[in-house]
Structure 1
Amino acid sequence: MSDLVIEPVEKTVTATFDGEVIATSQNALNLTEGAFKPVIYFPKKDIRMELLTPTDKVTHCPRKGDASYWTIALNGREAENVAWAYEDPTKEGAAALKGHIAFYNFVVKVA
């Protein structure tokens, strides 16, 4: 049994930064991975991508592959490397994450 579980979120999910909505989706995914807290991944098409700027940061997860990062800038505030995605997941079990972005919940509120 894999400790990587990806399931559709069965409600509309919203992400806010600096009090402003940056993403709303009825097609978000919930990733549960081992003992980590669940993470919501938004389809890129449901995110205000004009607010995100790609960075050079890359990390590697043995279960999902390499993650790319983005900085959010809005209302004069900036949060560096606060969004990430596995744009080319290396493991079959993580393939559903392709085309989705997650946010660090201590900066971006997801509800």
Structure 2
Amino acid sequence: DFCLIPMGTGQPSVAEYIAECQRVLQKTKLVYKANSEQTTNAVPEGPWSEVSQAIHDCHAAVHAMGAPRIATDIRIGTRVDREINPGTVNEGKVTRVERILAGEGQETWQGI
């Protein structure tokens, strides 16, 4: 996931910048989930090169809107022990935890 924070815009609201980054993400082939935060906080799923390019493109778009500085936190997870279909990773993790909380079966953290 990544969290993009426009800085030095002179405005308290960053909604227009967030919307522009969302437009950039919509143009990609990546499956992503946007979170409702004050900043752009998205969880894209796909090949590393495509995810990093999308984050780069978000930076370029937000700078083009006039934001002189951007701070971005990025958290990347990779997995090579099995094939993963983009768009299923995060949803699968949430479903697994919900099952554990509901007491369905003997789920363990090892299965997540």
Q: Tell me the TM-score normalized by structure 1.
A: 0.26
Bigger Rg over Cα:
2
Report the structure, 1 or 2, having the larger helix content. Answer: 2
> Which of the pair has the greater relative contact order for Cα pairs under 8 Å at 6+ separation?
2
- Structure with bigger strand share is 1
